[in-house]
Amino acid sequence: MSLSKRKIFIFRGVVLLLIAATLLAAEVLAGRLYERITPASGRSGVAALLGETAATGYFVQHPYLFYAYRPGYSAFGFTQFNANGYRGREIPRAKDPEVLRILAVGGSTTVSFPYIPNPEDAWPAQVERMLAERTGARVEVINAGLHAATSAEHLAHYVFRDRYFKPDIVVLHVGGNDGLGLHFPDYNPEYTNFIRGWRTTPLAPRPWERALLRSNLVRVAYAYWLRAVSLEAAIGREVITRIPPGEALKNVESTAPEGFRRNLDLLIRTIAADGAVPVLFPFVHAPLERLRADRTYGAYADSMLLCFQKDRQVVDELARAYHLDLVDLPEGAIAPGLFKDFCHVELAGERIKAQQVTESLIPVVRRWQQQAARRAVDAGR
């Protein structure tokens, strides 16, 4: 090899080494600065391609429960959901036999998020304090409310999760979200006429992409490429405003709430079979004049009132059939001005609900205390 060719060969080698060293340095730097130099939306897209959980606000998707709350989610200066996805403080799965454990099941009017910022102000937490003060019992109330949940989600959550906390009493605050399903045509008791699963942007990696994304530089590039892609998931539930008010009313008039009846019936029987006491708390909605004044649903006031009445009839019938205690909030107990919309209430309204639930549960708690005392006597023999 001539001298000139050798110099060219050495020069090319040095250049290649410099390029390799530069790429290696850039790779290391990209890894260290990845979180600082890339848009958060793009990082979510990269995480989805890598098979990691994509952000969906305060909900997480679940293979059996449909959806649940994100554990540890914080907002308004409070940790809203504990490690098990229930609203409020941490409660151990193992139950102290000397503690009365109550499970509060319902929709957004039970979880009261985001309408009541502090979890300790939601009516289930208030009931815990009121019952302890009134009865002297050690009480734990688990707020298992779930935004937008129908009796189908309540049934799934109870079967797969709630029952393992071994509640002594289960308060079922139900009858609102199921009723809304009556507004839609082609009613199906399985609710396929208005619930569609999740609405989200799917990101599925091609066979080679996950290997490629092992590189920090590639991840940076992808994060910028995917920055405009939103992975925020929404629960795929139709809203009644897509149905003309007159048509919605006819749908409600001609439809029986069979799905609600059979879901609630099975839920009651399952709770009782687990040794817990089911207590029914019918859905609380604003009076008709407040319904009519609602900016979003005012045109649907008549159909909404009718669907709530149909679901209330189911609750009353099942309460009689199974001889269940019923939390019966007197009509007008919550003034129209205390409603934020057609069903969610201000803090003062939340307290009124808590007081009524407490009054209704005191006889149930007294029976539990008597049974606990008899068990203690029997154990001492």
Domain residue ranges of the chain, discontinuous segments joined by +: 3-52+198-235, 71-194+239-380
Question: Average pLDDT, stretch 319-330?
Answer: 96
Collapsing DSSP states into helix, strand and coil, what is residue 23?
helix
How far does the chain reach from its first CA to its final CA, in angstroms? 104
Higher-confidence residue of 54 and 89: namely: 89
The per-residue DSSP string of 276-307 comes to: -EEEEEE-----HHHHHH-TTTGGGHHHHHHH
In the numeric block, which tokens belong to residue 54? 């994509």
User: Over the stretch 18-36, which tens digit does the pLDDT of each residue have?
Assistant: 888 888 888 888 889 898 9
Q: How far is CA 357 from CA 89, 216, 306, 346, in A?
A: 20, 56, 24, 17
Homologous superfamily (CATH) of 71-194+239-380 is SGNH hydrolase (3.40.50.1110)
User: Over the stretch 261-282, which tens digit does the pLDDT of each residue have?
Assistant: 999 999 999 999 999 999 999 9
Report residue 118 CA to chain centroid gap.
16
In the numeric block, which tokens belong to residue 95? 């139950």
Q: Evaluate whether 104 touches 167 at the Cβ level (below 8 Å).
A: no
Report residue 123 CA to chain centroid gap.
16
According to DSSP, residue 58 is labeled B
User: Over the stretch 129-172, which tens digit does the pLDDT of each residue have?
Assistant: 999 999 999 999 999 999 999 999 999 999 999 999 999 999 99
Q: Report the pLDDT value the prediction gives residue 20, as an integer from 0 to 100.
A: 82
Distance CA 204, CA 54 (A): 12
In the numeric block, which tokens belong to residue 225? 């490429």
Q: Which of 161, 156, 151 is nearest to 191 (CA)?
A: 151
Supply φ then ψ for residue 31, to 5 degrees: -65, -40
β-pairing, 169-174 with 277-282?
Answer: parallel
Share of the chain above pLDDT 90, in %: 69
User: Over the stretch 278-308, which tens digit does the pLDDT of each residue have?
Assistant: 999 999 999 999 999 999 999 999 999 999 9
